[in-house]
Copies of this chain bind each other. A is one copy, B any other.
């Protein structure tokens, strides 16, 4: 059964699924969010753009459609979303 997840009062929604490991696809509305990680993750932007501050990084980096970035486990990352953005998250 496909599980739908909702975060930040519905500003972020995702669908969890399995395909050679756990993944989710989701959409982030315009806003600023901080996500915590348990397992390490690889995030890929599908449509739109994410400006991200990764743990231990000083600079904010912007990732567009097709770009991906990794986040260590047991950490957190900040995201600024200036256009509604779709993403794929792989739990590594």
Contacts and interface: CB of A to CB of B under 8 A. Distances in A.
Interface in A37-92: 46-48, 83-86, 88
Closest 4 CB pairs of A and B: A2-B13, A17-B27, A25-B86, A19-B84
Contacts of A11: 2
Given A2-B12, A23-B86, A46-B46, 10 more contacts: A2-B11, A2-B29, A4-B13, A15-B86, A17-B84, A18-B84, A19-B47, A19-B86, A23-B47, A25-B47
Q: Chain A: interface secondary structure?
A: strand
A18 B48 CA distance: 10
Contacts of A17: 27, 29, 84, 86
